[in-house]
Amino acid sequence: VLDHPVLDGKTLKRLLRFRSLDAPVVSLYVAVPVDPGEVRGAPAALHTLVKPLRELAESDELSHAARESLRADAAKILELVPRALQQQGKAMGVFACSRENFYEEVALPRQVRDRVVVDATPYVRPLLAVLDESHRYCVVVVDRERAWVHAFDGGQLEDVTKEAGRVLRKPDYGGWHGLDEYRVRNKAEEWARRHFRETAEAVERQVQRTGAEFLIVGGHEETIPNFLPFLPHDLQGRVAGTFVIDPHTLTPARVGEQAQRVVDEYERREEQELVARALERVAMGGLGAAGLEWCLAAADAKAIQLLLIHDEQEVPGRVCDNCGWLGLEGEDCPVCGAPTRKTPDVIDEMAAAVVDASGSVEHVYADTPLAQHVVAALLRFPVPPP
Ligand SMILES: [Zn+2]
């Protein structure tokens, strides 16, 4: 499998800072299905996505240079097909501006909505949304005799460490004639404890090796609470959630599915907490901001530590390419007086500016009061509302 380099810091910076004034930048996101039957339809999907680009390249409203550049971008994007086909279950992001010799292609660890955006800057929100959700997890499935430890990264179950067999085998009760039932049960308890202890150690090793931030525990309903106390204290605090599964019917696909469900619930919970924290700070007059105008002012001041964005909502606005000012309205920049540029989504420009200024961005998909504000932020220093 041709492996695309994981999006590194340098590439991200290039994407955040690139702008082109002579010809537009094409940003394209395409998901590659998991199902081999559907994968065959992927080239056709890409052609459909590229079609509006070709139409735009015929438009009289654009300069000759811009039309040439778009035509070249469309052709280059279609060359993506063989590489995209190797990313089953993942997605590709492509950013192109042939006029400026700019082309970046990144494989994203999970699927995103297909889309094409044409603007003066790369459209980075879907990329940032994937990055802000890509925590590393360690998944352990445990029963009284066996355990399976996995790494779970970007929606993929990896690196299966089968711990079965390492631990003591199930005792052969048949050979225990003469022992009363009480002692057999006692012996079994002792074995289970030892197995749980060894499993907890295996989990700890895996967490250290992979740098997993969170832990997910699966197993029989009654096994999970018996196992959890064996985990070291700091790992107990990092359990993102648990799931019930019958280890006898275990498949990697099923474990992956259950782990993803726990991850989704955990992420939504985390989002709700962050929104509550930001709005609480706003209410208390602390280091918070809410609403587009206020957050844009905070972004202009480089005060945003964490920007929270409701779902995929987009809002048009204005950008000053001279000094970086972002706002909702104004043909002239209120800071430096230079003419501003229209942008179809000022939230995208704001997200790029925040990340470029060492802040972070979290897209909030959970149902929260952020829906009314569209954006809110945790600030590094106070910025008064405009
Ligand atoms: Zn300006």
Span 31-79, pLDDT tens digits? 888 777 887 888 888 899 999 999 999 988 899 999 999 999 999 999 9
Q: What pLDDT, on the 0 to 100 scale, is given for residue 377?
A: 98
Q: What pLDDT, on the 0 to 100 scale, is given for residue 111?
A: 81
Residue 197 has pLDDT above 80, yes or no: yes
String of DSSP letters for 32-80: --SSHHHHTTHHHHHHHHHHHHHHHTT-TTS-HHHHHHHHHHHHHHHTT
Q: Are the beta carbons of 314 and 344 closer than 8 angstroms?
A: yes
Contacts of 292 (CB under 8 A, 6+ apart): 315, 328, 346, 347, 374, 375
Q: What pLDDT, on the 0 to 100 scale, is given for residue 130?
A: 84
pLDDT bucket at 352, cuts 50 / 70 / 90: very high
Give the pair of three-digit tokens for residue 190: 């002792």
Residue 95 C-alpha to ligand 1 middle, in angstroms? 26
Give the pair of three-digit tokens for residue 281: 């700070």
Q: Are the beta carbons of 362 and 134 closer than 8 angstroms?
A: no
pLDDT bucket at 129, cuts 50 / 70 / 90: confident
Burial class (CB in 10 A: 0-12, 13-18, 19+), 122: buried
Residue 312 C-alpha to ligand 1 middle, in angstroms? 27
Q: Are the beta carbons of 353 and 295 closer than 8 angstroms?
A: no
Where is pLDDT greater, at 36 or 284?
A: 284
Where is pLDDT greater, at 196 or 133?
A: 196
Mean per-residue pLDDT for 349-367?
93
Residue 338 C-alpha to ligand 1 middle, in angstroms? 5
Residue 297 C-alpha to ligand 1 middle, in angstroms? 13
Residue 311 C-alpha to ligand 1 middle, in angstroms? 29
Mean per-residue pLDDT for 276-283?
97
Q: What pLDDT, on the 0 to 100 scale, is given for residue 175?
A: 47
pLDDT bucket at 8, cuts 50 / 70 / 90: confident
Residue 320 C-alpha to ligand 1 middle, in angstroms? 5
Q: What pLDDT, on the 0 to 100 scale, is given for residue 9?
A: 80
Mean per-residue pLDDT for 361-382?
95
Give the pair of three-digit tokens for residue 14: 């290039």
Mean per-residue pLDDT for 281-309?
96
Where is pLDDT greater, at 170 or 211?
A: 211
Residue 323 C-alpha to ligand 1 middle, in angstroms? 4
Residue 307 C-alpha to ligand 1 middle, in angstroms? 22
Strand locations in the chain, DSSP E? 25-31, 91-97, 102-108, 115-119, 136-142, 147-153, 156-162, 214-219, 239-244, 288-290, 304-310, 317-319, 326-327, 341-343, 360-364, 375-379
Residue 317 C-alpha to ligand 1 middle, in angstroms? 14
Residue 340 C-alpha to ligand 1 middle, in angstroms? 7
Contacts of 10 (CB under 8 A, 6+ apart): none
Give the alpha-carbon dihedral of 304, 310, 316, 319, to 10 degrees. Answer: 10
Residue 335 C-alpha to ligand 1 middle, in angstroms? 5
Where is pLDDT greater, at 6 or 173?
A: 6
Mean per-residue pLDDT for 256-285?
94
Residue 56 C-alpha to ligand 1 middle, in angstroms? 29
Query: Contacts from 186-191 at CB under 8 Å and sequence distance 24+?
Result: 188/144, 191/144, 191/145
The verdict on pTM exceeding 0.95 is no
Residue 5 has pLDDT above 70, yes or no: no
Residue 351 C-alpha to ligand 1 middle, in angstroms? 18
Could you tell me what percent of the chain has a pLDDT over 70?
Answer: 91
Mean per-residue pLDDT for 351-374?
94
Residue 39 C-alpha to ligand 1 middle, in angstroms? 46
Residue 126 C-alpha to ligand 1 middle, in angstroms? 27
Q: What pLDDT, on the 0 to 100 scale, is given for residue 178?
A: 53
Residue 71 C-alpha to ligand 1 middle, in angstroms? 32
Residue 239 C-alpha to ligand 1 middle, in angstroms? 47
Residue 326 C-alpha to ligand 1 middle, in angstroms? 9
Q: What pLDDT, on the 0 to 100 scale, is given for residue 168?
A: 39
Residue 318 C-alpha to ligand 1 middle, in angstroms? 10
Could you tell me what percent of the chain has a pLDDT over 90?
Answer: 62
Q: What pLDDT, on the 0 to 100 scale, is given for residue 182?
A: 67
Residue 74 C-alpha to ligand 1 middle, in angstroms? 32
Residue 373 C-alpha to ligand 1 middle, in angstroms? 26
pLDDT bucket at 174, cuts 50 / 70 / 90: very low
Residue 1 has pLDDT above 50, yes or no: no
Residue 310 C-alpha to ligand 1 middle, in angstroms? 27
Mean per-residue pLDDT for 158-171?
50
CA 95-117-323 angle, 5° bins: 75
Where is pLDDT greater, at 285 or 144?
A: 285
Residue 329 C-alpha to ligand 1 middle, in angstroms? 13
Q: What pLDDT, on the 0 to 100 scale, is given for residue 3?
A: 45
Residue 166 has pLDDT above 50, yes or no: no
Residue 339 C-alpha to ligand 1 middle, in angstroms? 8
pLDDT bucket at 144, cuts 50 / 70 / 90: confident
Residue 325 C-alpha to ligand 1 middle, in angstroms? 5
The whole-angstrom separation of Cα 3 and Cα 213 is 24
pLDDT bucket at 334, cuts 50 / 70 / 90: very high
Span 229-266, pLDDT tens digits? 999 999 999 999 999 998 888 888 888 889 989 999 99
